[in-house]
Amino acid sequence: MRLSPTVTIPIAVRNIAFVITRLPYLLIAAVVAFLFCGLIVWLFNLPLVWHVLTELPLSISQKIQFLWYGYTGLLANSSRTFATLTIMNSLLAGVQTSLLWWILRNRLHKLKTQTGTSGLPLILAIVSGGCAACGGSLLTPLLSALGATSSALISTIGQVLLFISTLLFTYSIYRLGLQIPRQEKHES
């Protein structure tokens, strides 16, 4: 018998909260969210990042400051919608990773095939993300090859894909939340 969403959603939320309120899993979520956001921000400038980090004679603090500019650039140079969706996707990626880690660590033998969508939101978020400063994305070369030359169109498509990615992350997290037994109280 299938339960209605009015029953399963509160169960999933309670189970997700059970895992995320544990310090190790909260830290995993925070670190993954931070790194995932950095990946989206810097993905299309990886040669520049590599050059700055490995070849320029900069101090560690200057290199960290350089990387930090990507995060501040996301907030300063992007549309609010793009920045919000990028941050939401990053946070959801962190939560999803924490839940997957908990399930793999505690219930590997009970993991069902229902978590099969877990990789799709990550791919969509990366494809629709891009350079905060220039508005570019992985979509830019693909759409240019197909004749779409309007940067407004590319930006809109990127935002739509980020929104779809957010929905997929949310659904994936909901399904993962249903995989966590409610009665677990002993595991940290």
Other Cβ atoms within 10 Å of 66 Cβ, number: 15
pLDDT tens digit sequence for 110-166? 544 444 555 556 555 555 554 433 444 444 455 444 554 555 555 677 778 788 888
The pLDDT score that the predictor gives to residue 121 is 60
pLDDT grade, residue 2 (50/70/90)?
A: confident
Of 117, 121, 131, 105, give the one whose Cα is nearest residue 48: 131
* pLDDT tens for each residue of 74-123: 888 778 888 898 899 999 999 999 988 888 887 655 544 444 555 556 55
Extract the tokens encoding 83.
């920045």
Look at the pTM and tell me if it is higher than 0.75. no
The pLDDT confidence band at residue 62, using thresholds 50, 70 and 90, is very high
Res 29: pLDDT: 96
- Residue appearing with tokens 């590997």: 108
List, in sequence order, every residue forming a beta bridge with 137; answer none if it has no partner. Answer: 130
Residue 49 is inside which H or E element, if any? Answer: helix 46-54
Asked if 180 and 19 count as a contact pair (C-beta separation under 8 A), the reply is yes
Using alpha carbons only, give the angle 59, 63, 67 rounded to the nearest 5 degrees.
Answer: 170
Instruction: Look at residue 28 and tell me whether its pLDDT is greater than 90.
Output: yes
C-alpha to C-alpha distances, 146 to 44, 139, 149, 157, nearest whole angstrom: 20, 10, 9, 14
Residue 79's pLDDT is: 81
Contacts of 71 (CB under 8 A, 6+ apart): 37, 38, 41
